[in-house]
């Protein structure tokens, strides 16, 4: 995050440049001009702005971060809090049924990776339970698997 002093300095530079800008200049060209004309200031704000932007991007994806308080299955590291379905909905993983996990797997197949392998193992664990009870959720299977239900 930018310090108050850096914000003030950047605002002063912007105000100065905006006074003398050509009419009709694009915002991209203007931003490039500000960046190119103030290399010392840009060097000082580069890291805080990059971190701020990265935090924003992570926050947008935070629903996919593992939850510290969710029920975890032995051997299933870092399950996401929510999953994405083909219709765009994002149910909680622990409240998802086998059909929803299979939809999530299809989406993950485009990317491959560790999460796909974990979801495939979770699907394999749930399949025998879903034969008898198609609407069984990940939570219910976890309770049964851990002898709590």
* Cβ atoms < 10 Å from Cβ of 50: 10
Q: Of the given ranges (1-10, 70-79, 117-126), which has the lowest mean pLDDT?
A: 70-79
Q: What is the pLDDT at residue 124?
A: 95
Of the candidates 82, 81, 85, the residue with the CA atom closest to the CA atom of residue 99: 85
- Give the tens place of pLDDT for each residue, 125-142: 999 999 999 999 998 998
pLDDT tens-digit readout, 91-120: 988 899 999 999 999 988 887 777 888 889
Q: Tell the burial category of 1 from Cβ atoms under 10 Å away from its Cβ (0-12, 13-18, 19+).
A: exposed
Percent of the chain with pLDDT over 70: 88
The residue that leads in pLDDT, 88 or 73, is: 88
Query: What letters, b where the CB count within 10 A reaches 16 and e where it falls short, cover 59-85?
Result: eeeeebeebeeeebbeeeeebbbbbbb
Does residue 65 register a pLDDT over 80? no
DSSP string across the chain: ---HHHHHHHHHHHHHHHHTPPTT--HHHHHHHHHHH-HHHHHHHHHHHHHHHHHHHHHHTGGGSBPTTS---TT----BSB---TTS---BGGG-BHHHHHHHHHHHTTT-SHHHHHHHHHHHHHHHHHHH-TT-BHHHHHHHHTT--
- The answer to whether residue 70 scores a pLDDT higher than 70 is no
Q: What's the pTM value of the predicted model, to 2 decimals?
A: 0.54
């Amino acid at each position: 995050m930018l310090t108050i002093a850096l914000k003030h300095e950047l605002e002063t530079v912007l105000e100065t440049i905006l006074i003398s800008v050509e009419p009709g200049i694009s915002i991209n060209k203007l931003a490039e001009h500000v960046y190119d004309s103030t290399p010392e200031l840009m060097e000082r704000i580069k890291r805080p702005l990059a971190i701020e932007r990265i935090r924003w991007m992570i926050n947008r994806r935070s629903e996919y971060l593992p939850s510290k308080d969710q029920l975890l299955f032995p051997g299933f590291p870092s399950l996401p809090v929510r999953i994405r379905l083909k219709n765009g909905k994002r149910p909680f993983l622990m409240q998802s049924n086998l059909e929803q996990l299979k939809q999530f797997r299809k989406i993950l197949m485009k990317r491959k990776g560790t999460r796909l392998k974990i979801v495939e193992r979770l699907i394999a664990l749930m399949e025998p339970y879903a034969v008898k009870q198609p609407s069984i959720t990940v939570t219910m299977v976890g309770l049964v698997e851990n002898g709590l239900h």
